[in-house]
Structure 1
Amino acid sequence: MGKQRKSEAYPYSSGGWGSLKAVATILAQEKVALKDSTVLLRQNKPDGFMCVSCSWAKPADPHTFEFCESGAKATAWDTTTKRVTHDFFQVHTVSELLSWHDHDLEEAGRLTEPLRHDATTDRYVPVSWQEAFDDIGRELNAMDPEQVVFYTSGRASLETSYMLQLFARMYGMNNLPDSSNMCHESTSVGLKEAIGVGVGTITLDDFEKTDLMFFFGQNVGTNSPRMLHPLQDARKRGVPIITFNPLREPGLISFSNPQSVAQMLTPRETQISTQYHQVRIGGDTAVLVGLCKAVITADDAAAAGGAPRLLDEAFIGEHTHGFEDFARYVRQTEWADIEQVSGLTRVDIERAADEYTKANAVIIHYGMGLTQHRMGVQNVRMLCNFLMLRGNIGKPGAGPSPVRGHSNVQGQRTVGITEKPELAPLDKLAQQFSFEPPRKKGMNIVETFEAMVKGGVTGVVNLGGNLVRSVPDRFQTEPAWSRVRLIVNVATKLNRSHLVHGAVSYILPCLSRIEIDRQAGGEQAVSMEDSTGCMHGSRGVTEPASPDARSEPFIVAGIAKATLLNRSTVDWDAWRDDYSRVRAAIAETYPEIFHDFEARMWTPGGFPRPLPARERKWQTASGKAEFIVPSALGEDPDMMEREPGALRLMTLRTDSQFNTTIYNLDDRFRGIKGTRMVVLMNRADMASHSLQEGEEVTLQTIADDGIDRRVEGLRIVPYDIPLGCIAGYYPECNPLLPLWHYAKESKVPAGKSIPVRIAARAA
C-alpha cells in the first residue's frame, strides 16, 4: 500500500518539531526553571522515577530521553512552581471556583496544606493533619461500611494500593472501584474468560520477534507516544502495521523521532500504518468476524486443494475449546452483513487477513476504542478468537496487548484493589492479619454512582482522580455527589470533585511520585506495574512542593489508624515510616509474583509477573483457551438510535490532555485551537443535516428514560470520520452518556458509542 496521507487537520507526522515545541511550551507555562527541567532525564530510568502518566513499558536499556511529549507535560504539571495556599481560598469562594474551567482549576498550582470545607464562609480552611485524620475516622466509624466507597486512581503505587485495600477490608467492605472500571474492565473480564489471565501477554522483547502488528481503537500518538519508538524499530525491520480506527490519527500514520538528527533536520519520517481502515463506530466485532471469515475460508480452500493449511490445527486441537461452533458461525455469516456493520469493504478486510496468514507471530494492540462499548467484552473475546486461529498466543512475538492508561492502573489490581472478592486473596489476608475479610461483592464505579443517586452512599475516600468530571451522566451524578456526607479528596491539584462538596469535605495534599519522600525511616521509594506486567521501582528526585504535603502511604496510614483504632493488627506507623515493610507484606500475600521484592524492584526493565497464558497454560473453566460465538455483529444498543438522522458519538481526548487533566485548550493533531467545545463530523453528514463549518449545534442523547441529556454550544469541525459517526471531547460530552449505558459484562461506560441527534442553534 502506498504512503498514508496525513490528517486533514494536521498534515505532519507525530513527534518531530511539533512535539519539542509542545514540551518547551508546557515547561514555560508551568514556570519550570531550566535547572529543574533536567528532571526529565531521570524519567523512566532505573535509578529515577516512573512517569506519572501512561503505563507503557520501561526498557531495560533506556534512551537518553526516555520520555514522550505526554510524559513531559505530566512532569511539568507536577513540578510547576505555582501554588494554592490557604490565601487562595481567602480570595476565592467555593461557589466562585465552581464557575472556573477545569483547566484553570488545576493550572492554579499545587495544593500545599490539608483543608476542610467551612460551610459558613463557603471556603476551604487549613486544618492540622491529625485533626483531619481524627475527624475522618470519627465520621467513618459512624457510618455503615457498606455505604462507604474507597476510590483509587491509577497513579497510586503498589504500596499505597495494597494499604488501601487492606484498610477497606478491615473496615468492613469491598467497595473498591478504580479507574479500570471506566476503561479496561472489559479487558480484565474478556481476557480472563478467554485465556485465563486478565492482562496482556506481550513484553517489549516481543516487538523484536513479531512480524505483524494490528491496532484497534488505540491512538498511540497521544495516549502512549513512547510506544512509537519500538513501533519505529519494527517498521524499519519491515514489520507491517494494520490499523482499524474510526478517525485518521497522525500518530498512527507517521512518526518523526525527536531523538533522530536525520528525521529532525530532513523531511524523513517513518510510516507507521501500512494499512489504515476507518471502521464504523461500533463495528469492531464485525471487522474481527470478517477477518476470521477470510482466514477460515482460505483455510477451507487450502484443505480442499491439498495445500498447506492456514489455521494452526495443532494449537487449536491441543489448546482451545469451542472452535467448531465458532467456525460454523463464521461460515454462515454473510459478507453483506459484515460490510454493513463495519463500514468496510470485503476487499479491505480480506487484504488485512491476507497479511495475517503470511505472518508467523502477530501482536494486536488495542485501547478503549475496543472496550468502551456495550459489546466491549465481546470485542476483546473476538480479538482472542482471531489470534487463536493461527496460534498467536503464548509464543514469542505474539499475543494480545491492551494499552493501559494510568501509570499503575494494572498494578493496583494486582495487589487487591477490586470490588470482586473472588479476585482478592481473602483467605490469605485473613491468616496474615488475623481478621475476617468481608465476602460480599463491593460496588464498581457504575454501581457506586447508581447507589449515590439513590442516596445509598454516605462516604467517599477519593485517592486521586476527578470522579465528578470523569463519570457519565454528569447532570444526574454531580448533584448526587454533593449529597454525600463525607468526601475525602487526596490530590496534588485542585479539581471540580473538591468543589462539589459534601457536608464534611477534606482536601488532603499529597506528594507527587516525582518528589523526594522523606519519612522517619529515611527516603522512601515506591513501585508500580506497567502494561506488560513488569514491576518497577520509583524514587523521587525533586523537592516537595510544600513541607506540609504528605505521601499517599502516609495519608492512608493516618486515616486507617484513626478509623480502625485497636481493631487492626497492622502497625500503620511502622508502614508509614518504612515502605519496605509494606513490600514485605505484599510479598507474603503474593509470593509467586513478589518474592524477593525488595531486591528485584530495581531490575532494569522491571521484573515480570508470571502469566500462565504466556506459557500456554490456561486457567479457564475448561483448562483451555476459549473461543466465543458472538451474540451480535454490531453494538447491542440499549438506547433508541434508529430515528432518521441519528448519529453515533464517540468521546476522545486531545494531545494536550491526560484523562480529566487538561494542559491547554488546543488539539494540535486535529487542528483545533482555543476550545474543546467542538463536534468532529463527516462533510457528507454535515450536508445531509444542513450544517456549516463552525456552526453552533446542540447534541441530545437518544434515549427513552424521560431524562433530557444535552450539551449545547458545540461547533462543527469537518473531519475524516465515517458516515453516521461523530466525535467530541471527554469529559465535555459526559453529560450525554447515561449511567446505565455500559458494557454488558464489565459495566465499563460505553462512551465510544452514544446514539445522539444533532440540531443547529435556534436563530
Structure 2
Amino acid sequence: MAAGGWQSLKAVARYAIEEGSPALVTRALLKQNKTEGFACVSCAWAKPAEPRVAEFCENGAKATAWELTSRRLTPEFFGAHTVSELRGWSDHDLEAGGRLVAPLRYDPATDRYVEATWDEAIAGIARRLRALRAEDPTSAVFYASGRASLETSYAWQLLARVYGNNNLPDSSNMCHESTSVALPESIGVPIGTVHLEDFAQADCILFVGQNPGVNSPRMLHQVKDARDRGVPIISFNPLRESGLVRFVDPQSPLQMLTPASTTVSTQYLQVKVGGDLAALTGVCKAMLATAAAGGEGLDRGFIATHTHGFDDFADWVSRQSWDEIECESGLARSQLERVAGVIAGAKAVIGVYGMGLTQHRQGVKNVQMLCNLLLMGGHIGRPGAGICPVRGHSNVQGQRTVGITEKPELAPLDKLAAQYAFAPPRDKGRDTVASCEGVLDGSVRAMLCLGGNLLRAWPDSTRLEAAWAGLPLTVHIATKLNHTHVVPGQECWLLPCLGRIEIDRQQGKEQKLSMEDSTGFIHASQGVAEPADERLRSELAIVTALAEAVVGTDAQVPWAQWRGDYAQVRAAIAVSYPEIFHDFEARFVQPGGFAKPNAARERDWKTPQGKACFIAPTGLVADPDAPAHPPQTLRLMTVRSDDQFNTTIYSLDDRFRGVSGTRDVLFMHERDIARHGLQPGQRVAVRTTAHDGVDRVVRGMTVRAYDIPEGCVAGYYPECNPLVPLWHHAEGSHVPAYKSVPVSIHPETPTATAPQEPAHDAR
C-alpha cells in the first residue's frame, strides 16, 4: 500500500466525522501551517513561506480532529467512574473520551476526581510545592512536552530555576538528545543544517532510521519533488515501510485519478536492527577505497580546510573488516558499495535521520557516523546538502532554544540572573533517566507535567508505574485524559488547558504564540477555533499563576503582565537570547518565519578545534547488551502505527502494515517464526534477556509474519516499553534505547489462534 492517496483522505474524513465536528475541522485545516493560522500540533516538519492550499498531512489532520472533538469529559463523567476503573481503559479509550473542561483534584477517599475552582487548584498545588521547596528544592521535577510554545516553555524553565533546580526533562530526552550531544562535537551546533529550500537543490537524499510516511508525512511532498527531478533516494530501514516505498500525492490530480504514484526509494536497504553503525561504516569504507583508486567521493579541499581528525578516522575505517560489517549490518558488501557509488557521484547530499539512529545504546555514535559520511564529501554548509534530524514533536526543538534543559551550561544563567535579580541554581538537573531513577528511589517527590503521558512514554514503565503512585504530588496540565492521569500520586491535580488550535484571549485580545520547526525556523501560531469550554485556561496563564503562587516575588519576573500580553514574554526572550530573537515581534509573523542562526551552515565551526570533526566509534556493535546472549535472542525495535502520534493512539488499526483491531502484535520474519517452533497468529510472551535481576515481560503478543531481517522483531510503542530497562540507554545522551532491545520469545499457546495473512510486502 502506498502512503497518501485516497486512503489517507478517507481516514481524515472519518476522524472528522467521528469526532462530531467535520465543519469545524475543515475550517481549521485550511488555516493549518499557514502564516495567519496555527502550527500543527503533530510533527515538527518545516512550514513553507508559500504553503499549499492543504498544508497538512493525514497525521496532522487527525491531530486537529482529535483536539477539536465535540466530546467532553465533564465533572459528572468523573463522578460516574472511579480512577481504578479508568485505569483499566485502553490508551485509545481514555483520550477518545474528549476534552477535559474543569480543574480536578483526586480524592483518595472516593477514588474519584472531583471538580475544584482554579483558585483552589493553584493554592493547593502551591501549598504543597512551597513545603517541598523548604525541605529540598531539588525534589521537584518540571517536565515539558514538545507541544508547549516558546513563551510557555520560557516561563516554565524560569519557574523551575527560581524554585531552585534545573530539573527540566523534556521530550528531547527520549528522542533527539543523541543529536544534541553528537552534533556539537562534530559540527559545533546542536541542530541540523538543512533548510526546506535545500531539498530543491539536493541531488541525493539519504534516509537512515526515519519513516516519513508515519512520522512526518508532509516531508513526502519534498521527496516527491526530488524524485520528479530524478534525484536518487537511498533508505536504510529494517522494516519495509510504505512511506519509503511509494507515495500517492493527495494534491496531485494525476496521481489521485490514475494508478500513478511516486517511487520513493531508489535503493532500499533493510539493515538489521542496530546495524546502522556498521552499514554507514561500510559506505565510508567503500568511498575511501574508490578515492584511493582515483575515483570520486572525497572533497579533499573541504577536508583539508574545514575538518579535523580525518586521517585517524580513515585509518579506523580501513581496519574494519567487510566480514564484520556484513555480519553486523545484515547487508552485503555489494549493496553498500552501490550506495557509496551514488553518494560519491553526488554534489549535494542531504542525510535525513530520526529515532532509528538516536534510540540506541550507541545513538550518539550513530549520528556522528552519518555526519562523518557527509563530511567526507563536503556536504555540510553547501546549498542542497546537510544533515537533517527530523524532530518528532511540534516544538520540542524550540523548547531547548529557550532554556528547557537540565544542563546549566546550555542556559544563559548569568543573563537570567541579571534580568530577573535572582541566583539561578548551577548544579546539573535531572534528565528523563535521572527523573525516573528519582521516582524509583523516592528522591523525586513532585512531578509537574506540562503535557505528556510519562507512564506510557518512559522505559521500564511497569516498574515506574508502581512507584509513581507513591509520589507526594503529581500535577498535569493537559487537554485530554491519558493513562498517567489515572495513576495519581498521593495528591494529584488535573489542570485543563486550551489547545493550540483554540483562540487564546487575554485581556480581550487574541494572542499569538511562537514555535520552532525541525529546520530551526521560528513561526507564529494563532488559534482559529473557539475554546472547548469557558473554564479552560491557556498553558501560559496556568504556568504564570502557579509561579506567582509558588515563588512569588523571589525574582523580579512580571508573571501577571506576561499572562495578559504574550508580546511581553517574547520581549523578555529577546533580552535573554539577543542573537536569536532580536526583532522577535516583527520577524516571527512574516511568511516562513525566521531562521535561527546556524554557524555550521556558514562553515563556521564552533568546536574546540575550530573545525568540523571526524569522530570514529570504538566498534561496530551498536548494542553492547545484546552480543553475549544465546542465539535465540532477537533484537526488538519499537515502532509507531499510522494511526498514532507519540503515545496518542487514534485507533487500534495500522493500515500500512495490514493490522486491524489490535496493537498486541509482534512482527517477525517467517523463518524466525519457524525457527522458534511458532506459527503465525500464535500468542507469545516477550521477555528481555539483558538481565539485572528484574523480570521484564510483555504477554499476549500475537506473532505476525512480516518483511523484516532475520534475527529482528518489531512491536508497538508504547506497548513494548516495559521491556526496555531504564539503564538501557544511549551512552552520552541517556536516550532510552527503544530501537534495539535483546529479547526472547516464549509460546503462550501451543498452536495458532488466529488466521494469518501472507507476509506483508509493501511493494
State the Cα distance separating 1:642 from its structure 2 match: 2.1
**1:524 equivalent in structure 2:** 511
1:640–1:704 contact (8 Å) kept in structure 2? no
Whether 1:256 and 2:248 are equivalent positions in the alignment is yes
State the Cα distance separating 1:762 from its structure 2 match: 4.7
C-alpha separation in 1, matches of 2:622 and 2:260: 41
- SS at 2:552 equivalent: helix
**1:3 equivalent in structure 2:** none
Task: Output the amino acid matched with 2:540.
Answer: P
**2:683 equivalent in structure 1:** 696
2:8–2:58 contact (8 Å) kept in structure 1? yes
C-alpha separation in 2, matches of 1:132 and 1:323: 58
- SS at 2:597 equivalent: coil
State the Cα distance separating 1:708 from its structure 2 match: 0.7
2:705 corresponds to which of 695, 711, 718: 718
**1:421 equivalent in structure 2:** 408
2:420–2:557 contact (8 Å) kept in structure 1? yes
**1:570 equivalent in structure 2:** 557
C-alpha separation in 2, matches of 1:444 and 1:691: 41
1:521–1:578 contact (8 Å) kept in structure 2? no
State the Cα distance separating 1:704 from its structure 2 match: 2.3
Whether 1:369 and 2:353 are equivalent positions in the alignment is no
C-alpha separation in 1, matches of 2:623 and 2:84: 41
**2:149 equivalent in structure 1:** 157
Task: Output the amino acid matched with 1:431.
Answer: A
- SS at 2:214 equivalent: helix
Residue pairs, 1:748-763, within 5 angstroms: 748-762=735-749
**1:298 equivalent in structure 2:** 290
**1:202 equivalent in structure 2:** 194
C-alpha separation in 2, matches of 1:463 and 1:623: 38
- SS at 1:401 equivalent: strand
1:181–1:748 contact (8 Å) kept in structure 2? yes
Q: Which runs of 4+ in 1 moved over 6 A?
A: none
- Residue by residue over 1:571-590, the C-alpha shift from the partner in whole angstroms, topping out at 9 and shown as x without a partner, is 11110010000000001111
**2:730 equivalent in structure 1:** 743
C-alpha separation in 2, matches of 1:194 and 1:33: 48
Residue pairs, 1:22-37, within 5 angstroms: 22-37=11-26
2:296–2:344 contact (8 Å) kept in structure 1? no
**1:146 equivalent in structure 2:** 138
- SS at 2:551 equivalent: helix
**1:431 equivalent in structure 2:** 418
Whether 1:133 and 2:125 are equivalent positions in the alignment is no
1:100 corresponds to which of 89, 95, 103: 89
C-alpha separation in 2, matches of 1:183 and 1:666: 24
C-alpha separation in 1, matches of 2:563 and 2:116: 20
State the Cα distance separating 1:564 from its structure 2 match: 0.7
C-alpha separation in 2, matches of 1:636 and 1:103: 32
**1:268 equivalent in structure 2:** 260
C-alpha separation in 2, matches of 1:79 and 1:35: 8
1:640–1:702 contact (8 Å) kept in structure 2? no
Residue pairs, 1:253-652, within 5 angstroms: 253-302=245-294, 310-520=297-507, 522-638=509-625, 642-652=629-639
2:50–2:591 contact (8 Å) kept in structure 1? yes
C-alpha separation in 2, matches of 1:207 and 1:629: 28
C-alpha separation in 2, matches of 1:90 and 1:357: 65
Whether 1:49 and 2:38 are equivalent positions in the alignment is yes
- Residue by residue over 1:613-658, the C-alpha shift from the partner in whole angstroms, topping out at 9 and shown as x without a partner, is 0000111111111111211102242357521311000000000000
State the Cα distance separating 1:465 from its structure 2 match: 0.8
2:623–2:740 contact (8 Å) kept in structure 1? no
- SS at 2:158 equivalent: helix
C-alpha separation in 2, matches of 1:432 and 1:658: 38
State the Cα distance separating 1:37 from its structure 2 match: 2.1
Task: Output the amino acid matched with 1:63.
Answer: R
C-alpha separation in 1, matches of 2:166 and 2:603: 32
**1:110 equivalent in structure 2:** 99
C-alpha separation in 2, matches of 1:252 and 1:566: 54
Whether 1:670 and 2:662 are equivalent positions in the alignment is no
1:183 corresponds to which of 151, 175, 180: 175
**1:729 equivalent in structure 2:** 716
Task: Output the amino acid matched with 2:503.
Answer: I
Unmatched 5+ stretches in structure 1: 1-11, 303-307
C-alpha separation in 2, matches of 1:526 and 1:736: 38
**2:757 equivalent in structure 1:** none
**Structure 1 residues 557 and 257, CA, compared in 2 at 3 Å: closer, same or farther?**
same
C-alpha separation in 2, matches of 1:649 and 1:390: 34
- Residue by residue over 1:413-450, the C-alpha shift from the partner in whole angstroms, topping out at 9 and shown as x without a partner, is 00000000000000110111111100000000011011
1:521–1:577 contact (8 Å) kept in structure 2? no
- SS at 2:371 equivalent: helix
State the Cα distance separating 1:521 from its structure 2 match: 5.5
2:29 corresponds to which of 31, 40, 50: 40
2:144–2:449 contact (8 Å) kept in structure 1? yes
Task: Output the amino acid matched with 2:17.
Answer: A
Task: Output the amino acid matched with 1:179.
Answer: S
State the Cα distance separating 1:35 from its structure 2 match: 4.5
Task: Output the amino acid matched with 2:55.
Answer: E
Number of paired residues?
Answer: 747
2:683–2:749 contact (8 Å) kept in structure 1? no
C-alpha separation in 1, matches of 2:123 and 2:612: 50
C-alpha separation in 1, matches of 2:291 and 2:37: 51
- Residue by residue over 1:306-328, the C-alpha shift from the partner in whole angstroms, topping out at 9 and shown as x without a partner, is xx653111111111111000101
2:74 corresponds to which of 58, 70, 85: 85
What percent identity do the matched residue pairs reach? 59
**Structure 1 residues 406 and 279, CA, compared in 2 at 3 Å: closer, same or farther?**
same
C-alpha separation in 2, matches of 1:639 and 1:329: 23
- SS at 1:477 equivalent: helix
C-alpha separation in 2, matches of 1:64 and 1:243: 29
**Structure 1 residues 714 and 641, CA, compared in 2 at 3 Å: closer, same or farther?**
farther
Task: Output the amino acid matched with 1:147.
Answer: S
2:625–2:742 contact (8 Å) kept in structure 1? no
State the Cα distance separating 1:192 from its structure 2 match: 1.1
C-alpha separation in 1, matches of 2:578 and 2:552: 29
Give the TM-score normalised by the residue count of structure 2: 0.97
C-alpha separation in 1, matches of 2:172 and 2:20: 33
2:25–2:64 contact (8 Å) kept in structure 1? no
2:25–2:65 contact (8 Å) kept in structure 1? no
**Structure 1 residues 611 and 521, CA, compared in 2 at 3 Å: closer, same or farther?**
farther
1:697–1:715 contact (8 Å) kept in structure 2? yes
State the Cα distance separating 1:566 from its structure 2 match: 2.4
**Structure 1 residues 436 and 571, CA, compared in 2 at 3 Å: closer, same or farther?**
same
Task: Output the amino acid matched with 1:168.
Answer: A
**1:236 equivalent in structure 2:** 228
2:203 corresponds to which of 189, 208, 211: 211
1:639–1:704 contact (8 Å) kept in structure 2? no
